[in-house]
Each structure stands twice: as structure tokens, then as C-alpha cells.
Homo-oligomer: A and B are copies of this chain.
Amino acid sequence: MSEHPVSRFDVPDLDELPDDIRETILAVQEKSGFIPNVFLAFARRPAEFRAFFAFHDALMESNEGLSKAEREMIVVATSATNHCLYCVVAHGAILRIRAKNPLIADQVATNPAKADLSDRERHIVDFALRVAHESASVSDDEIDDMRAKGFTDDEIWDIGAIAAFFAMSNRLANVAALRPNDEFYLLGRLPREH
């Protein structure tokens, strides 16, 4: 639909890519119906592409401890505070779908304090925002406070690691001016999509 560039940096043709990367991309296209631009933009750097998506999947594709919807809430909250258009729009869509809630992404992106969150979700988002903004001062007391609220060490690690991973991701996308695909904006907003 739009004719704006995907990235500030050159994007390679699919047929120039190493086989494993082209196959990953085609598999995503098969599943989503389109190729999310992050795959095209990062394909410029095969070694980084492999490490980036391996790291991403290790953090985001698990339901152990944090649910997938909780993981996406962390992404949307921290990406919004970092003003990363790609991540807010793309992961906003995923969050709507995973949380089965068409309103939640706009709420979390605009003002998490006013979003319809459970207490557990609020603790997750608040801690993630601490990591996004002020990780240097995260104290032993705060870690203990999270434990007292019922979070395991693996859950605390996951919140911190997802906030940290998107601190990276948001900066890469911002430097590249990575453009979200138009398809993401409407995903998960209509009843039939759930």
C-alpha cells in the first residue's frame, strides 16, 4: 500500500541471501501473509540476523513463567517509551492478538498507568519500565520486592531481559528508521481476527 522505504539502509534482494535466512523469511511470509520489514532490514547482516532472531525467539516464544501476552506487554510498554514506531505498531498487533483484547496495546503504549492491567501485569510493566529507563539504580530491595510479589527469579530475569532486548531493538529500528508494514496497524482490532 505505501511506497515509503523500509529502512534508511539498503535492503538486500531475497535471492541474494544465504539460504537459511531466505528460508526463515519465506516461512514467516507463509505464516503471516506478508514479510515483516524487520526481516528484510536485518537480512543485510546475516550473522546479526541469526543472533537477533535466535535471541528474540528465546525470550518471546516461551509460555513458561511469563505468558506470551505478558511478554508482549513488556515490548509495547518499553518500545513506546523509546518511541520506536516499528516495535509499537508491530508488537502492538501481536499483543492485541495474544491478549485477545483490541484496546490493550493503545492503552499500554500511551499510558501504562491507565491501562486495564491486572496487578501482576502492572508489576511486570512497572519493573520493565524501570529497566528501560533506570537500570543502573535497580536495587536488591526491588528484586526482593518482586520476589515477595510472587515472581520467580526466572520471571524477573525474563522481564529484565525482554526490556533489555528491546532497548537494543528499538535503537536499531530507530537508527534505521525501520518502517512498520501497513498490515500491522489493523491486526487484532476486529472481532473476527481472534
A interface residue numbers (CB < 8 A to B): 2, 4, 8-10, 44-45, 47-48, 50-52, 54-55, 58-59, 80, 82-85, 88-89, 92, 102-103, 106-107, 109-111, 113-116, 131-132, 135-140, 143, 153, 156-157, 160-161, 163-165, 167-172, 174-177, 179, 182, 185-186, 189-190
- Could you tell me the distance in whole angstroms from the C-beta of A56 to the nearest C-beta in chain B? 8
Dominant SS among interface residues on chain A: helix
B contact residues around A59 at 8 Å (CB): 48
Given contact pairs A88-B106, A138-B175, A164-B168, A47 touches B51 in the complex (Cβ within 8 A) = no
For the complex, what is the distance from the CA of A109 to the CA of B185, rounded to whole Å?
13
Output the residue of A10, A51, A179 with the most chain B CB within 10 A: A51
For the complex, what is the distance from the CA of A170 to the CA of B114, rounded to whole Å?
13
Contact of A186 among B82, B115, B165, B189 (CB under 8 A): B189
Given contact pairs A102-B185, A110-B80, A131 touches B175 in the complex (Cβ within 8 A) = yes
For the complex, what is the distance from the CA of A157 to the CA of B177, rounded to whole Å?
12
